[in-house]
Structure 1
């Protein structure tokens, strides 16, 4: 069914380009047919399969090179933190949940990084399930970096988070320089992202 649809779409594209350019047959360039091939390639991808040619930076939400979406959230200790107020400093924004095993694996790495580089790089961990006992979770893991509570899912939705953990590295100008989907499992990997 998909290949029939693909053939029909390619035929329709070629036909529409021909009709638009029939007064000048030489205007059907090579790029016209490359576009048609690209459409055919996209159609042949099986349901749920990602094209190998799909760039990582076309994932939903903000990506590398985009300006980070500003937010203001309360931390576990009751302070309000606004991302834009940290301009001039590198920031790691990490989305996580208490029920997420990879997040639990990643938290000691974040803590080690914060202990070592916390004066130079701010770490903000945005919890997306504040209805659970986040304070107890923080205590049990000995976390000292700011944990922010996204109580109404507004920031989670603004960043279009599909899976946790997801981490953004933001430079001094507020531009995203790295987007990591999945756990960062060692400090060297995290350190490499801020250079």
Structure 2
């Protein structure tokens, strides 16, 4: 009888330790997601102008630049040629997230894309959830996410080609 009680107590302690470890590991993993440098970038799934679905997690294993913008934003307009040139001339990933809820007219988005002849994915944040998850206050705001899905750099304001390339070089 005494052996049975000891066995039950030991088994209970073992299962409690395993349960506690699993719960603690899950909480630590969730706590690491955020919008600061060295945080796990929040995943998102958005649709392009052509109806294709893009997920940030699909780019795991490759560095990616996430750029938040709107068509009426002057600084956003000034950085788009640099982004397009870098995308065409280098093997880099750019996801341009349009803050669709901030647009005056939805037609402004494809007009903007045509004007700048953008060929990288332009994603529509129709509900504003991705902009909120990334705590976008000012635009343009760009996040550089390394191949492990970790934010390596955040920049508010327009970027030039040299700045974009510099961040991709750091993520190699």
Q: Same fold (TM over 0.5)?
A: yes
When normalised by structure 1's length, the TM-score is 0.66
- 5+ residue gaps, structure 2, are 1-33
User: Stretches of 4+ moved more than 4 A in 1?
Assistant: none
Q: Distance in 1 between matches of 2:137 and 2:62?
A: 27
Name the structure 2 match of 1:151: 126
Name the structure 1 match of 2:94: 123
Residue 51 (structure 2) aligned to one of 49, 73, 78: 78
Name the structure 1 match of 2:148: 173
Deviations 1:132-187 (A, max 9, x none): 32111100111111000000000001111010000000000000000001111x21
Indicate yes or no: 2:125 matched with 1:187: no
Which has more radius of gyration? Answer: 1
Q: Distance in 2 between matches of 1:150 and 1:183?
A: 20
The structural deviation recorded for 1:71 is 0.2
- 5+ residue gaps, structure 1, are 1-60
Residue 69 (structure 1) aligned to one of 11, 17, 42: 42
When normalised by structure 2's length, the TM-score is 0.74
Which aligned pairs between 1:3-152 and structure 2 lie closer than 5 A? 62-117=35-90, 119=91, 121-129=92-100, 131-133=105-107, 134-152=109-127
Secondary structure at 2:87's aligned position in 1? helix
Secondary structure at 2:51's aligned position in 1? coil
The structural deviation recorded for 1:76 is 1.1
Contact 1:98 1:137 in 2 (8 A): yes
The number of aligned residues is: 132
Q: Distance in 2 between matches of 1:174 and 1:156?
A: 17
